[in-house]
Amino acid sequence: MRPILLKGNLVSLGILLREDLRQVWLWYNDREVRRYLAFPEEIFFYEDELEWYETLRREKRGEKVFSILENSSRSLVGLVGLHRIDYHNGHAELGYFLAREHWGHRYGSEAVKLALEYAFTWLNLRKVYARVYEPNLPSIRILEKNGFQLAGRWKRHQYVPGEGFVDVLLYERFRE
């Protein structure tokens, strides 16, 4: 059991537990999950994961990371986070990933919707932004369905293994 912060129809956002970390570490090293994330080439050690968790717990003001829980089974399926939270300017950067076996059920879309609700209603932020690589069509779809608009692009900015340099799209969503 764990505290549920926001409940949706398909998934809910809960507190990330230390006991989730081994599972998250396995998913985070899956090259298909990493493909369109920052540092796709990187290998993450379990000890890195533990240190990251401790930092997250101690410096919770600047970053909120939620576990995404499937409502039907209550099991962990991925993570969604608000990073670089800037209370002075009222914005944060959104990031998310799901375990590969849970893709395609609209869990990503609902997790982003709930993370926006947390950002706007609970943290009182005014804007959330995201960086997405151009070939990541499911992720672009998730952002657009959640009201994000394309704000700009960095051309041939990110090297994706096997695909070469791709554009990075900058998306933003205001509270209104």
Ligand X SMILES: CC(C)(COP(=O)(O)OP(=O)(O)OC[C@H]1O[C@@H](n2cnc3c(N)ncnc32)[C@H](O)[C@@H]1OP(=O)(O)O)[C@@H](O)C(=O)NCCC(=O)NCCS
Cβ proximity of 92 and 119 under 8 Å: yes
Measured from each CB, the residue nearest to ligand X is 108
Rg (CA), the chain: 16
Check residue 76 for interaction with ligand X (CB under 6 A): no
Cα(99)–Cα(81) distance, integer angstroms: 15
The label of the residue with tokens 């537990």 reads: 17
By the rule CB under 6 A, 33 interacts with ligand X: yes
81 binds ligand X (CB under 6 A): no
Nearer to ligand X, 26 or 124 (CB): 26
CB 1 within 8 A of CB 17: no
- Rounded CA separation 81/87 (Å): 16
The interface region with ligand X, picked from 55-63, 64-72, 106-114, 154-162 by CB under 6 A, is 106-114
139 touches ligand X by CB under 6 A: yes
Contact 81, 63 (CB under 8 A): yes
Site string for ligand X, 113-132 (x = CB under 6 A): -----------------x-x
- Examine residue 22 and tell whether it contacts ligand X (CB under 6 A): no
The answer to the question of residue 138 lying near ligand X (CB under 6 A) is yes
Sheet with 91-98: strands ordered across: 4-7, 11-15, 64-70, 76-86, 91-98, 127-133, 164-174, 149-160
Q: How far is the CB of 88 from ligand X (least distance, A)?
A: 25
> For 166, what's the count of Cα atoms within 13 Å in the CB-facing half-sphere?
20
Nearer to ligand X, 124 or 144 (CB): 144
Locus of tokens 């998250």:
24
Using CB under 6 A as the binding criterion, the count of chain residues that bind ligand X stands at 21
Work out whether 142 is an interface residue with ligand X (CB under 6 A). Answer: yes
Return residues touching ligand X (CB under 6 A). 33, 36-37, 96-98, 103-109, 130, 132, 136-139, 141-142
